Amino acid sequence: MATVHGPKLIAGNSNLKLARSMARRMSLHRGMNVDLVDARVERFNDGEIFVEVFENVRDEDMFIIQPTSRPANDALMELLIIADALKRSSASRVTAVIPYFGYARQDRRSKARTPITAKLVANMLEKAGIERVLTLDLHATQIQGFFDIPVDNLYASPIFALDVKHHFKDQMDNLMVVSPDVGGVARARDLAQRIDAPLSIVDKRREKAGEVAEMTVIGNVEGRTCLIVDDIVDTAGTLCKAADVLMENGAKEVHSYITHGVLSGPAVDRITKSVMKNLIITDTIEATDAVANAPNIRIVQTAPIFAQAILNTWSGTSVSSLFSTKSLSAIYEGIYDCS
């Protein structure tokens, strides 16, 4: 019987930079070199995706690193085809590491004759032979229930808490955490509790879908440094408007902590011209040149927490333990001053 020496990583093309960072972090954690499995993920002239794995993966515990971000359909198909290739090559277990879970916003029927695409994607992943999913900040936590396999949903708020304590250590008594809508209160409250700050809410009222007619701030933000917290920023229109409303209500300055920087269309231009001092996003979605060069956009690393989560999954130890400040501080030591 083959001896399993450790978890093996393989990646699609969606965010190779993050995949390589995870491998490097695992090398540091384990004290031995961890590399991505040698494979090619290519396209034929008509756009069909082809995968070939060049290493033996029989009886190996495989982890596919592939956020299903832009272009979402290509990224998803790459993930499914890699999974099929691994199962047909006799891998013992296949785990999908999906830092950004695309189609998560289609988690319910918002009107008649519409799909629940997040459930469809869950079915496709299971049919492809994936036996476990590891992701970060699902848009709706109930999506875990769409799967009949284990789903580990990591949270960005503990990482953001370390970042806030590092970059705002002289302003901790004046911070105000802000949820940009009522639906995101739980996420914002978690960060507020971790940094011991009060919580405010921006209440949005819509006259029609996709168009915000009015915003009202619930809570006193006057003189405060406000931190807007959310999971996804796409075109950034609502986010920038929320920042404007906070400033109009007397906020000293506004920063935003958003997990997934989709940042499509006019988003970067809007953020650059916004009253927001900084937008902080994670690297779950590979940054475009425009995002990387934007003066008020900063990127937080997720490779440390994903690398440790992969090791914990492989060794059968707790993944939820990573949410504790003590555990995370050790993982992010050298990146943040966690004293």
Q: Which of 112, 157, 117, 126 is nearest to 259 (CA)?
A: 157
Based on the residue annotation, tell me whether 165 is a catalytic residue of this protein: no
Q: At CA 334, angle to CA 331 and CA 337, rounded to 5?
A: 95
Tell me the pTM. 0.94
As a whole number, mean pLDDT of residues 253-267 equals 97
As a whole number, mean pLDDT of residues 47-59 equals 97
29-33, 160-164, 243-247, 316-320: which has the minimum mean pLDDT?
A: 29-33
As a whole number, mean pLDDT of residues 196-215 equals 77
Identify the active-site residue in 8, 127, 169, 204: 204
CA-CA-CA-CA torsion sign (267, 142, 136, 329): positive
What rounded mean pLDDT belongs to the chain? 94
* Residue 210 to residue 264: CA distance in whole angstroms: 15
